């Protein structure tokens, strides 16, 4: 896998998640305006992740080159970039496709929507995004542009706030205590 492949995969995941959350806003927004705004906010935040990936892409290409290899084998790691985490991109895309199919079916409850969002935000796609942030951080250091580090720090804070918003909405709108507990566990993993 190359740096270009990684950026394209990540952009695709973020875009698909943004669209999925926008669909949930349309499907569930008639229940309560606050619910519609919540899903719109989740979608907007995913769009912001997409934009960040595009910003980081330009910076990393300038620093490392577009075809820079991303090693997936920790034992034989020779790249100056950290090894890619042990996650399956195919499993991530399969899970996302399953969620998209369910939402595209149009018949989804609010609790099912929260279940999907918790799965997405706690899934391995988040691991890829955080890995990419570490590469962007390295590019900032190597390109001697430390003033950009504050942008990465803010993005990491925004990630925590993104999950926190999901937890609060689950608590506010769901009566399913098991689902609320699952949301709280997700928050603990992101602290």
What residue numbers bound the domain in which 130 lies? Answer: 3-110+123-146
CA 101 to chain centre: 19
* Predicted pLDDT of residue 55: 85
Residue 168: inside a domain = no
pLDDT of residue 147: 86
Predicted pLDDT at 79: 65
Say how far apart CA 159 and CA 94 lie, in whole Å: 23
165-174's contacts with Cβ under 8 Å and 24+ in sequence apart are: 165/38, 165/41, 165/42, 165/45, 166/42, 166/114, 166/117, 166/118, 166/121, 169/35, 169/38, 169/114, 170/114, 170/118, 172/34, 173/32, 173/34, 173/35, 173/38, 173/110, 173/114, 174/110, 174/111, 174/114
Establish if 9 belongs to a structural domain.
yes
* Token digits of residue 24: 């949930």
Query: What are the CA-CA distances from residue 132 to residues 25, 46, 82, 140 (Å)?
Result: 28, 15, 10, 12
pLDDT at 160: 83
Rounded Cα–Cα distance for residues 177 and 179 (Å) = 5
pLDDT at 76 over 60: no
pLDDT on residue 30: 87
Query: Of 145 and 23, which is predicted with more confidence?
Result: 23
The answer to whether position 183 is within a domain reads no
Q: Indicate whether this model's pTM tops 0.75.
A: yes
Q: What is the pLDDT of residues 6-61, one digit of tens each?
A: 999 999 999 999 999 999 999 998 878 999 999 999 999 999 888 888 888 989 99
CB atoms within 10 A of CB 36: 17
Tell me, yes or no, whether 12 lies in a domain: yes
Q: Which of 42-56, 60-74, 129-143, 172-186 has the lowest mean pLDDT?
A: 60-74
**Residue 26 resides in a domain:** yes
Please indicate, yes or no, if residue 131 is contained in any of the structural domains.
yes
What pLDDT, on the 0 to 100 scale, is given for residue 19? 97
27 C-beta neighbours (distance < 10 Å), count: 21
The count of domains in the chain is 1
Is 178 contained in some domain? no
| pLDDT for position 124 | 84
Each residue of 81-126: pLDDT tens digit? 888 888 889 999 999 999 999 999 988 999 999 999 999 998 888 8
Among the residue ranges 9-18, 31-40, 140-149, 150-159, the one predicted with the least confidence is 150-159
Rounded (5°) CA angle 97-112-110: 125
- Is 127 part of any domain? yes
């Amino acid at each position: 896998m190359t740096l270009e492949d990684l950026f394209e995969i990540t952009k695709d995941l973020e875009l698909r998640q943004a669209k999925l959350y926008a669909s949930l806003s349309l499907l569930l927004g008639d229940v309560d305006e606050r619910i519609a705004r919540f899903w719109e906010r989740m979608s907007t935040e995913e769009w912001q992740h997409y934009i960040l990936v595009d910003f980081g892409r330009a910076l990393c290409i300038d620093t490392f080159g577009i075809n820079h290899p991303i090693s997936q084998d920790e034992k034989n790691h020779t790249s100056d970039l950290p090894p890619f985490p042990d996650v399956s991109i195919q499993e991530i895309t399969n899970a996302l496709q399953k969620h998209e199919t369910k939402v595209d079916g149009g018949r989804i409850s609010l609790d099912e929507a929260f279940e999907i969002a918790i799965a997405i935000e706690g899934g391995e796609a988040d691991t890829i995004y955080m890995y990419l942030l570490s590469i962007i951080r390295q590019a900032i250091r190597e390109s001697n542009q430390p003033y950009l580090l504050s942008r990465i720090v803010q993005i990491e804070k925004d990630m925590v706030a993104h999950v926190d918003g999901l937890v609060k909405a689950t608590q506010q709108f769901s009566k399913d205590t098991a689902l609320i507990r699952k949301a709280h566990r997700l928050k603990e993993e992101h602290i």
